Amino acid sequence: MSAPEGLGDAHGDANRGDLSGDLRSVLVTSVLNLEPLDEDLYRGRHYWVPTSQRLFGGQIMGQALVAAAKSVSEDVHVHSLHCYFVRAGDPKVPVLYHVERIRTGASFSVRAVKAVQHGKAIFICQASFQQMQPSPLQHQFSMPSVPPPEELLDHEALIDQYLRDPNLHKKYRVGLNRVAAREVPIEIKVVNPPTLTQLQALEPKQMFWVRARGYIGEGDIKMHCCVAAYISDYAFLGTALLPHQSKYKVNFMASLDHSMWFHAPFRADHWMLYECESPWAGGSRGLVHGRLWRRDGVLAVTCAQEGVIRLKPQVSESKL
């Protein structure tokens, strides 16, 4: 289907992936490519597993949204997604996705998706789809003024810069080496990365440019939304940890729920600014809010997530 006005506007990414033969994003060819088993029943496999050895929440959300999107007509698009993670996912077996067609209306359609492993639900969500409707009721916040991604170090180069600093504390060095070893299908460029001194006292806020690795193209709007669901969970809950990481280390951390609202067409293989903040943490839980901005200043997606975060004090090194 043809892209709506604005979806194919590159905003600085015009030369990326437009030549035939370019590598297709693994998010499309593998991660979000579900196997149909029956009507409204699909099987998904895994690409990247975090060091926690539990399934990545963004993968489950993205795959569930793919399954839901297959059950609606081409002229409706997701505008909201509300998810609960109810059990840890097992990376050793595939996930089954069952779609329930709750309602199909003239303007809005609602789908429920249950993700199952070992006969039990690990994840449930509801997605609402809407036929595009023009309206004079329009406003949005202003996009933060930040350096463009071309002026920033990529995630790998930034981590390497930190690791080369002889003054980097061991507790940070271990974590950064772990991050550097990950092979994730997304690219990240951190805005205003903290210095070593600033790592000791950070606000619960962060911003980074993000996009899918490889080429997706203007194609189906639904697929870009599914990729955004995958992207939105990466490093999101960690925003709530930023003020506390100098005194505590994570004993256990996992997403409890995740919501997304889709406002405007976008391309997930073009740079978008992810603005994240944590307005509250307590009771072994953290709350985070996020906004995904297109390069032209259009607010594309809003996200919210709560997760369980259990900490333990950092062990001081012996002075003997």
Annotated catalytic residue 117: no
Note if 245 is an active site residue.
no
Q: Of these residues, 233, 245, 269, 278, which one is catalytic? A: 233
Question: Annotated catalytic, 128?
Answer: no
DSSP character string of the chain:
-PPPTTTT--TT-TTSS-STTPPBPHIIIIIT-PEEEETTEEEE--S---TTSS--HHHHHHHHHHHHHTTS-TTEEEEEEEEEE-S---TTS-EEEEEEEEEE-SSEEEEEEEEEETTEEEEEEEEEEEE----S----PPPP----GGGS--HHHHHHHHHH-TT--HHHHHHHHHHHT---SEEEEESSPPPTTGGGS--SEEEEEEEESSB--S--HHHHHHHHHHHHTTTSGGGGGTTTTTTEEEEEEEEEEEEEEE-S---TTS-EEEEEEEEEEETTEEEEEEEEEETTS-EEEEEEEEEEEEEEEPPPPP--
Check 25, 59, 232, 305 and give the catalytic one.
305
Catalytic residue among 59, 117, 232, 255: 255
List active site positions: 233, 255, 305
